[in-house]
Structure 1
């Protein structure tokens, strides 16, 4: 099966990324999880480590193996990159080529031709903001395929587009790509 890198950024929907990790692992994929600091404020890395059976990476500067440059080697090993949930902050960083955390550094180092999925999750106004839409358009030009958020009652109490796509929808897209 495929070597999937699941990059998780800060959003209340991080708990759904844990389910995605579990489902991908059950399908036989080798899942490596990356988490931003904000993501670890919602769910601990141990949850993802337990579900994926792999070390979870949270720190760009922590090199566990002195013979390896982690963000380059992990990028080279990736068959499919999934960023779910993708916060407005992470989307903006990726669209502008920033690499200041483990998620953005590995995303920037992914070799050309490796498929990249991005599943936004945020407040409706943040998602519909022209800056976010411009950033998503830019990412599309960079080879990212957006898995659109769904319309729902959001954690903030607003109703609108911004909820992370259902895990089944993400899994369907993964199957189409692989």
Structure 2
């Protein structure tokens, strides 16, 4: 049986470091986790840390590859999307369909809860 695929969106709140614990719990439970941090989140926890903890590469840019569109691949392949912490800015963007970074674009393409 394939591991459930989880997208963990991390925003730039002071609680961003707590997402490391959430990531650990998901991976220990047998989930395949892709972390999608915002630029602001990377000020609190770096991409190398997310990659090491998840065992997966960390994508941060919508157009980082011309051969594929990461937000579509990541969003449509997910079984679950969790955004933690979710700043007020992220909640407003999600509520109004504003997609100006990889995480918000991923939310728009996700076909799961």
State TM-score, norm by structure 1.
0.60
Question: Rg bigger for which structure?
Answer: 1
**Where does structure 2 lack aligned partners over 5 or more consecutive residues?**
none
Structure 1 residue 85 displacement after superposition? 0.4
Structure 1 residue 74 displacement after superposition? 1.0
TM-superposition CA deviations, 1:26-74 (whole Å, max 9, x none): 11100000010110011101111111000111111211x61x2211111
Pairing of 1:1-178 with structure 2 (within 5 A) = 1-63=3-65, 66=67, 68-111=68-111, 114-115=112-113
**Where does structure 1 lack aligned partners over 5 or more consecutive residues?**
116-178
User: How many pairs does the alignment contain?
Assistant: 111
More strand by share: 1
Give the Cα–Cα distance (whole angstroms) in 2 for the partners of residues 96 and 76 of structure 1. 20
Give the Cα–Cα distance (whole angstroms) in 2 for the partners of residues 71 and 34 of structure 1. 9
